[in-house]
Amino acid sequence: MPVRWVVVLAAALVSCSGDEGAACGPSAGTVAHVVDGDTIVLASGERIRYLLVDTPESVNGARDCFGHEAAQLNRQLVEGRAVTLRYDGAQCRDRYARLLAYVDVDGREVNRLLVERGYACVLYIPPAGAGRHAELEALETVARQERLGMWAACQVVTCE
């Protein structure tokens, strides 16, 4: 095999290995500010939107049922804390230029916690999150059936 093909093949293997979403943004950071139930700002200034998660609104004058509670839980989980970020590689940012990520704190995934505790609905906008969409939908179904969080507190759930 000619040397130039070996170099091309080696470069291709390196570019395909590792975290497919690593090119999206940082893999870790400290949460400087919690915007609401599904959005945070890192100390670096990056705005992060939790992938596959939608919570009732609580900012800009919105007072959706359970919006304040979702923001408060998010604040308790991550504000001022070191988090790790994982990307699915299908889409890095949403239409508001926020990074789309799964966010982990102390070995727990915040996206998952919000849905399974009834503080969030699943928001699937293909292609982002395709690999985990069904998993989070199943968690939402259980939270609804068990009337957890907003599923018990709200007559109208606005994130559906």
The two tokens of residue 55 are 């919570």
Contact 52, 136 (CB under 8 A): yes
The reply to whether 49 belongs to the active site is yes
Catalytic residue, candidates 4, 46, 47, 57: 57
The reply to whether 4 belongs to the active site is no
The reply to whether 57 belongs to the active site is yes
User: From CA 129, how far away is CA 154, in angstroms rounded?
Assistant: 27
Catalytic residue, candidates 4, 46, 49, 160: 49
| Torsion sign over Cα 157, 134, 72, 41 | negative
Going along the chain, which residue ranges are E strands? 28-34, 39-42, 47-50, 53-54, 82-86, 99-105, 108-109, 121-122
| Torsion sign over Cα 124, 125, 130, 132 | negative
Catalytic residue, candidates 98, 112, 116, 140: 98
The two tokens of residue 95 are 């239409």
Catalytic residues: 49, 57, 98
